């Protein structure tokens, strides 16, 4: 999405069907390391780009700095259903109540 590249175009460049790309995106099928390198080359990013912010062995985030500017996280969020609606509603909530919503979301994510 960030490069305005269609699933069909990416699929053609790495030699798979666009349905396979959809399965990769949704997590239905795992992506092998060599395929990840192919995709990274087509998208002109380092393979590490796909792992930014991933948990480390200690359970801490590898890059917990400015999450709002993390293109992977922002893209992942806005590709989910209702994300834009949620973001718009969140912005209209008073700041003291936003923290409560974040805590609720974290609790729900852990269960």
Residue-wise pLDDT for 44-80, tens only, equals 888 877 776 665 545 544 444 456 667 777 778 878 8
Q: What is the pTM of this model?
A: 0.49
Write down the domain spans for the chain: 1-65
Per CATH, the architecture of 1-65 is what?
Answer: Orthogonal Bundle (1.10)
Give 5-50 pLDDT, tens digit per residue: 899 999 999 999 999 999 998 888 988 888 988 998 898 888 877 7
Contacts of 92 (CB under 8 A, 6+ apart): none
From residue 27, give the alpha-carbon distance in Å to each of 24, 42, 79: 5, 20, 13
* Integer Cα distance of 56 and 53 in angstroms: 9
* Integer Cα distance of 110 and 17 in angstroms: 34
């Amino acid at each position: 999405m960030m490069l305005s590249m269609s699933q069909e175009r990416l699929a053609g460049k790495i030699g798979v069907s666009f349905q396979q790309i959809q399965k990769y995106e949704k997590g239905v099928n795992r992506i092998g390391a060599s395929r990840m390198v192919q995709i990274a080359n087509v998208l002109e990013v380092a393979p590490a780009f796909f792992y930014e912010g991933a948990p480390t062995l200690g359970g801490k985030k590898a890059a917990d700095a400015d999450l709002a500017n993390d293109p992977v996280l922002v893209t992942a969020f806005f590709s989910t259903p209702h994300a834009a609606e949620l973001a718009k509603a969140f912005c209209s909530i008073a700041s003291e109540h936003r923290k409560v919503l974040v805590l609720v979301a974290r609790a729900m994510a852990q269960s």
